[in-house]
Amino acid sequence: MISVGIVGGTGYTGVELLRLLLKHRQVRVDVLTSRTEAGKPVADMFPSLRGHTDLAFSDLDLNVLKQCDVVFFATPHGVAMKHAAELIAANTKVIDLAADFRLQNLQQFEKWYGMAHSCPDILKDAVYGLSELNRERIQSAMVIGNPGCYPTTVQLGLAPLLKSAQALIKPESIIIDAKSGVSGAGRKASLGMIYSENADNFKAYAVAGHRHHPEIVEALEGISGQQGVFNDLVFVPHLVPMIRGMLSTIYVDLTDEAATLDVQALYEAFYQHETFVDVMPEGSSPETRSVRGANQLRIALYKPSPKKLIILSAQDNLVKGAAGQAIQNMNIMFKFAEDEGLAGIGLLP
């Protein structure tokens, strides 16, 4: 039984961490901080938790957090990097669900997040927490940069191709048409987020540039070991009138070597031992509701012509795209069964 702290428990990733961690048999959530709600029982804010916890929000106190074995940051960008040094000095591991430890490229970080990085040294040792792809390094990490939701769908959607010894795809051809439920924008009072602005509506957003674009590029470079080849990658996110759920439809041009490749077999082999990545049978279409509330990503593949491949990659943005993967990383770091606390079945309908 380890002791867990959560910094920033009033957002959607915060309450999702709680929903999952309160049923995890090897952790005890001891601390839950909020700048604005100190003293308030968390179940007063999230009545779904009534009867499941007596935890109340407290002010952020590093001396208290240092008693924890691991602290999750479910905060705005820039908070985790302020406190990481002190926590790891006290041997408390850090899992940041914001962007502070995702990008190794400091200029990109500064450009997209509008702030200088305050602890580049820690960043250098931090591990990017795409669990299935970086499992070994995660095991011994002190600081995890938990991946963005869109980048998770893209990396798991492309990894089998990029990890191949052969060049199977043309990197400059990658087009990611991504769609997300509204909860991805977080729990904050914003005109653009209100019900009547989003229901019964569909649109693209951030077409001219989205923060997850450089994260995707850097991650694909890491996976493939090839620098600079993904600069023409196109990424267009869209907003779907649903609460949870994310689907990336990824289009790639195959190389001549890949024209006769059995991609279905390639993917099935690549993920055969992965609990949380489901390569669906040919002809399937992963629905976001099939993973609603579950730490699961489902993939389906289509080859409309010998030279083209379509990859459908679906997840719950708050689970495999955020809180679930963060807990998966914690399980790896503490050598718990990787699916402990994460074996729930998606809520369908």
Instruction: Name residues contacting a copy of itself, limited to 156-185 (CB under 8 A).
Output: 175, 177, 179, 181-183
* Under rule CB under 8 A, residue 325 binds a copy of itself: no
Closest CA to 322 of 145, 83, 79: 145
- Point out which residues pair with 298 in neighbouring strands: 278, 314
Minimum distance, C-beta of residue 22 to a copy of itself, in the bound complex (Å): 7
Minimum CB distance to a copy of itself smaller for 127 or for 280: 280
Stretch that binds a copy of itself, among 68-76, 148-156, 303-311, 329-337 (CB under 8 A): 303-311
Sign of CA dihedral 221, 226, 227, 232: negative
Minimum distance, C-beta of residue 297 to a copy of itself, in the bound complex (Å): 11
Minimum CB distance to a copy of itself smaller for 28 or for 50: 50
Q: Is the peptide bond before 349 cis (omega within 30 degrees of 0)?
A: yes
Minimum CB distance to a copy of itself smaller for 155 or for 317: 317
Minimum CB distance to a copy of itself smaller for 136 or for 232: 232
**Which two structure tokens, joined as six digits, stand for 211?**
């923060």
What phi and psi values does residue 308 have, to the nearest 5 degrees? -125, 145
Instruction: Name residues contacting a copy of itself, limited to 18-37 (CB under 8 A).
Output: 19, 22-23
DSSP character string of 91-149: T-EEEESSSTTT-S-HHHHHHHHSS--S-HHHHHH-EE--TTTSHHHHHT-SEEEPPPH
User: Would you call 149 a catalytic residue per the annotation?
Assistant: yes
Instruction: Name residues contacting a copy of itself, limited to 36-95 (CB under 8 A).
Output: 46-52
* Under rule CB under 8 A, residue 135 binds a copy of itself: no
Give the integer Cα–Cα distance in Å for 326 and 129. 8
* Under rule CB under 8 A, residue 200 binds a copy of itself: yes
* Under rule CB under 8 A, residue 202 binds a copy of itself: yes
State how far the alpha carbon of 115 is from the alpha carbons of 60, 209, 322, in Å.
Answer: 22, 17, 22
Minimum CB distance to a copy of itself smaller for 161 or for 174: 174
Catalytic choice (15, 149, 159, 266): 149
- Point out which residues pair with 29 in neighbouring strands: 4
* Under rule CB under 8 A, residue 305 binds a copy of itself: yes
Give the integer Cα–Cα distance in Å for 58 and 126. 27
Binding a copy of itself by CB under 8 A: which of 115, 124, 139, 205? 205
Instruction: Name residues contacting a copy of itself, limited to 251-270 (CB under 8 A).
Output: 251
* Under rule CB under 8 A, residue 12 binds a copy of itself: yes
* Under rule CB under 8 A, residue 120 binds a copy of itself: no
**Which two structure tokens, joined as six digits, stand for 190?**
């914003």
Q: Which residues are catalytic?
A: 149
